[in-house]
């Protein structure tokens, strides 16, 4: 980190937005460089929420910073993205005025988890209280100007965070691969990301530890981010947003909660998963159903969040499906087949089954 800061020539015109996990490393690297450090936990915890992100926006606008440097997971990077405009707008105003926004600050993203992909995308997501869900702002101004991958930043990552964020990155890659917007280039990135992530889980299967090559894990997440920045995320991510907002699941947990049910529903309605099967060929060389083996591997390494334990009811599944169908078409248009509100409800309700397929 110290070498990184020296190369970036960090100075008093820089705003560093950071969570708590890497704070000590950053303080040491920032010594005598006089950048302002803004620690997000002083404003709120968990996934970015409209109310306290607005406080961070207000704080970030007190000085004419030239650069915003995000060091953290996807939530931290997304918060930093909202700060690049520096013009006093609130979250609600940023969404309302997205056609009028002008980027004033350079954005540098340094991820500290292996799942976000936010360091190479033009999307920032925040929880909106009135909707009881999350919304994503997607405009080119939100692309980071620089992304820096430092494997050492992951060395103290707790295993649950590693597995959650890896599964999120896997979902990015799978949804990109199956997207109608996919092309030969996004497929290259998505397939390689899937292979690295799956092989990481095979390496550590049953051990609940980090894989040996953390830099490679970062690269896989980055590749998945490049793929979905073009081909898009889809059903899994759309369905995850109400779960994160209503039941306070971390983003990776919320995606994982619906991931297996979504893949099984695709199979049941005849969506071709051949591209995914082929991407998994080297990881499961003798398998007759590689998607099934993938689901088994994930469950072996990380238990799915339980709809029963969260006390989610059938009526809540119906309500969430309605919200997703009405508010998340930005994502749903990237699904491999057009899905109705009823389809979304069925996927949610399938998560309620005690014996999941």
pLDDT digits (tens, 9 = 90+) for 149-193: 999 889 889 999 999 999 999 999 999 999 999 999 999 999 999
pLDDT band at 129 (very low <50, low <70, confident <90, very high): confident
At residue 324, the pLDDT reads 96
Q: Residues of the chain with pLDDT > 90: what percent?
A: 81
At residue 133, the pLDDT reads 82
> Is the per-residue pLDDT at 355 higher than 50?
no
Report yes or no: 107 and 84 within 8 Å, Cβ to Cβ: yes
2: left (phi over 0), alpha (psi -120 to 50) or beta: alpha
Cβ neighbors of 299 (< 8 A, separation 6 or more) are 260
Q: Spell out the CATH class of 2-148.
A: alpha beta
> Is the per-residue pLDDT at 300 higher than 50?
yes
At residue 93, the pLDDT reads 94
At residue 277, the pLDDT reads 97
Given the structure tokens 């999350």, which residue do they identify? 134
pLDDT band at 47 (very low <50, low <70, confident <90, very high): confident
pLDDT band at 256 (very low <50, low <70, confident <90, very high): very high
Domain boundaries for CATH 3.40.50.1970 within the chain: 2-148
Q: Residues of the chain with pLDDT > 70: what percent?
A: 99
Comparing CA positions, the residue from 93, 98, 111 lying closest to residue 57 is 93
> Is the per-residue pLDDT at 234 higher than 80?
yes
> Is the per-residue pLDDT at 5 higher than 90?
no
At residue 156, the pLDDT reads 87
Task: Kindly state the average pLDDT of the residues 2-30.
Answer: 84
> Is the per-residue pLDDT at 354 higher than 70?
no
Q: For helices 159-178 and 235-247, what crossing angle results, to 10°?
A: 140
> Is the per-residue pLDDT at 356 higher than 70?
no
Selected residue with higher pLDDT from 310 and 132? 310
At residue 353, the pLDDT reads 75
At residue 22, the pLDDT reads 76
Domain boundaries for CATH 1.20.1090.10 within the chain: 158-350
Given the structure tokens 């590693």, which residue do they identify? 162
pLDDT band at 116 (very low <50, low <70, confident <90, very high): confident
At residue 6, the pLDDT reads 84
Residue 262 burial (CB count, 10 A): 28
| Distance separating alpha carbons of residues 191 and 182, to the nearest angstrom | 12
Task: Kindly state the average pLDDT of the residues 246-271.
Answer: 95
pLDDT band at 97 (very low <50, low <70, confident <90, very high): very high
* Superfamily the domain 158-350 falls into: Dehydroquinate synthase-like - alpha domain (1.20.1090.10)
> Is the per-residue pLDDT at 195 higher than 60?
yes
> Is the per-residue pLDDT at 245 higher than 80?
yes
């Amino acid at each position: 980190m110290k070498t990184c800061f020296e190369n970036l020539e960090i100075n008093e015109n820089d705003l560093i937005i950071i969570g708590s996990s890497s704070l000590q490393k950053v303080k040491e690297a920032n010594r005598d460089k006089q950048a302002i450090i803004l620690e997000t936990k002083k404003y709120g915890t968990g996934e970015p929420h409209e109310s306290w992100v607005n406080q961070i926006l207000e704080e970030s606008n007190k000085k004419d910073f030239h650069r915003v440097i995000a060091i953290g997971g996807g939530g931290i990077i997304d918060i930093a993205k909202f700060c690049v405009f520096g013009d006093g707008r609130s979250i609600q105003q940023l969404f309302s005025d997205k056609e009028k926004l002008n980027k004033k600050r350079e954005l540098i993203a340094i991820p500290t988890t292996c799942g976000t992909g936010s360091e190479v995308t033009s999307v920032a997501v925040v929880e909106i209280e009135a909707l009881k869900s999350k919304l994503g702002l997607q405009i080119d101004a939100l692309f980071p100007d620089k992304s820096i991958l430092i494997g050492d930043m992951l060395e103290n990552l707790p295993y649950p965070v590693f597995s959650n964020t890896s599964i999120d990155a896997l979902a990015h890659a799978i949804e990109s691969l199956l997207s109608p917007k996919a092309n030969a280039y996004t497929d290259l990135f998505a397939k390689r990301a899937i292979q690295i992530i799956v092989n990481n889980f095979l390496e550590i299967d049953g051990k609940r530890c980090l894989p040996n090559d953390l830099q490679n894990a970062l690269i896989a997440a980055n590749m998945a981010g490049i793929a979905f920045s073009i081909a898009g995320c889809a059903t899994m991510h759309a369905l995850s947003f109400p779960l994160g907002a209503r039941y306070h699941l971390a983003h990776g947990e919320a995606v994982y909660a619906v991931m297996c049910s979504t893949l099984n529903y695709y199979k049941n309605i005849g969506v071709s998963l051949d591209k995914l099967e082929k991407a998994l060929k080297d990881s499961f060389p003798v398998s007759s159903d590689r998607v099934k083996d993938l689901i088994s591997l994930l469950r072996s390494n990380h238990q799915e969040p339980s709809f029963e334990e969260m006390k989610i009811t059938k009526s809540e599944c119906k309500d969430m499906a309605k919200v997703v169908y009405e508010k998340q078409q930005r994502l749903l248009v990237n699904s491999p087949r057009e899905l109705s509100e009823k389809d979304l409800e069925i996927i949610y309700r399938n998560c309620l089954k005690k014996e999941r397929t």
